[in-house]
Copies of this chain bind each other. A is one copy, B any other.
Amino acid sequence: MKIKVGVNGYGTIGKRVAWAVMKQPDMELVGVVKRKPNWEVLSAVKKGIPVYTLEESVRDFERRGIDIEGTLDELLSKVDVIVDSTPGGVGKTYKEVYRKAEVKAIFQGGEKSDIAEVSFNSFVNYREALRKQFVRVVSCNTTGLVRIIHSLSEAGTIRKIRGVIVRRGADPKEIKKGPIDALILNPAKPPSHHTIDVKKVMGELDIITYAVVAPTTLAHLHYLLVEFKEPKNREEILKHISNNSRVVIVNGDLLKSTVEVRELAKDMGRPNGDVYENVIWEDSIWVNNKEVMLAYAVHQEAIVVPENIDAIRAVTGVIEDPQESIKITNNTLGIKGWI
């Protein structure tokens, strides 16, 4: 019996989650919900994905000549799990709908944490999410942070974390967003929301992050300073980071920028040039007694996709061991296999 999955919202995250669901041996993509018949729906049509919409949008799709399989309510009657990838803050307006339909729902990091019982990361709290009705996969930057902090925490006791997150200003498709030429303090006053979200997943930590928005669309770049209770050496740190099955390691002599990472992903045939992994620069890792500093990139459009897939398994409870789910997800998405 495959898990029957629907995806509400076929945008940046939703389409990628839908495509990833289609690759899972234990899942069936029943359909996706699209509110507006814009260009983005064309890939669903071409791929043969059943398209659902809201009651009030059916006519808009008909006018465009796009076949509609049914409404959101009809989709909900056919699925075990709905992945809510509607725009940030919109997910909460659907929560009651999902509850009434008795469907488990995965929300995204754009929703407030109280929308769900668990703010989720595959490596940290998969078991907490087992058989829950509502789970929230934290945002791209938080997912990136949590993976690295989790890996480092296996190298020893972390005393504190100080970070600067250089955020991409917009996704490539977001033609109305900026900035084109400015750096925006996001906000000036620390901590940025990532600090709070990391704690939602990992519990109490001495962490402060600053964020700055830059005019780029390709990826975020994080700089972290981590202080341990005991002295560390470079080899230990590198070993624990390498062990994370969703972190890839590159070298600054070869790949100097976020664009080279993304372009290489395209060259290697990754769908949409997607990078699901944290991309950490080996030569950025600086270890000095108890201090570790390092830099890594986070592809904002893709990094949460594997976490969404794992979250689907967790809420259904069909797989109880996080490592088992992570392994299937990684294998089907080709994680770490491309570089």
Q: Is the CB of B252 within 8 A of A187?
A: yes
**Residues of chain B contacted by A95 (CB below 8 angstroms):** none
Our pick among B183, B210, B257, B293 for the contact of A182 (Cβ within 8 Å) is B257
**Residues of chain B contacted by A213 (CB below 8 angstroms):** 257
What distance in Å separates the Cβ of A123 from its nearest Cβ neighbour in chain B? 25
Contacts A187-B256, A210-B295: A182 and B284 contacting too (C-beta < 8 A)?
no
Q: Is the CB of A216 within 8 A of B182?
A: yes
7 interchain residue pairs of minimum CB distance: A188-B252, A182-B259, A189-B283, A214-B214, A188-B281, A184-B257, A164-B164
Nearest-CB residue, chain B, relative to A217? B181
Q: Is the CB of B293 within 8 A of A179?
A: no
Q: Is the CB of A208 within 8 A of B166?
A: no
* Residue A190 CB within 8 A of the other chain: yes
Q: Is the CB of B218 within 8 A of A182?
A: yes
**Residues of chain B contacted by A223 (CB below 8 angstroms):** 164, 210, 212
Q: Is the CB of B190 within 8 A of A286?
A: yes
- A167-188 contacts to B, CB under 8 A, are 179, 181-185, 187-188
Q: A179-B257, A183-B219, A213-B257 given. 6 additional CB < 8 A pairs?
A: A166-B212, A181-B216, A182-B218, A189-B252, A208-B293, A210-B293
Interface residues of A (CB under 8 A from B): 162, 164, 166, 179, 181-185, 187-190, 208, 210, 212-219, 221, 223, 225, 251-252, 256-260, 281, 283-284, 286, 288, 291, 293, 295, 297
Expressed in whole angstroms, the Cα–Cα distance for A283 and B185 within the complex equals: 11
Q: Is the CB of A256 within 8 A of B166?
A: no
**Residues of chain B contacted by A218 (CB below 8 angstroms):** 181-183
Contacts A190-B293, A252-B189: A221 and B286 contacting too (C-beta < 8 A)?
no
Q: Is the CB of B217 within 8 A of A216?
A: no
Copies in the complex: 2
Q: Is the CB of A185 within 8 A of B256?
A: yes
Nearest-CB residue, chain B, relative to A182? B259
Our pick among B181, B221, B259 for the contact of A259 (Cβ within 8 Å) is B181
Q: Is the CB of B214 within 8 A of A166?
A: yes
**Residues of chain B contacted by A190 (CB below 8 angstroms):** 284, 286, 293
Expressed in whole angstroms, the Cα–Cα distance for A216 and B212 within the complex equals: 13
What distance in Å separates the Cβ of A156 from its nearest Cβ neighbour in chain B? 19
What distance in Å separates the Cβ of A163 from its nearest Cβ neighbour in chain B? 9
Nearest-CB residue, chain B, relative to A281? B188
Nearest-CB residue, chain B, relative to A214? B214
**Residues of chain B contacted by A188 (CB below 8 angstroms):** 251-252, 256, 281, 283-284, 295
Nearest-CB residue, chain B, relative to A190? B286
Nearest-CB residue, chain B, relative to A262? B182
Q: Is the CB of B286 within 8 A of A185?
A: no
**Residues of chain B contacted by A295 (CB below 8 angstroms):** 185, 188, 210, 212
Nearest-CB residue, chain B, relative to A291? B162
Expressed in whole angstroms, the Cα–Cα distance for A118 and B33 within the complex equals: 67
**Residues of chain B contacted by A162 (CB below 8 angstroms):** 162, 225, 291, 293
Contacts A188-B283, A210-B223, A225-B225: A216 and B164 contacting too (C-beta < 8 A)?
no
6 contacts between A and B (CB under 8 A): A166-B166, A181-B215, A184-B256, A188-B281, A190-B284, A208-B286
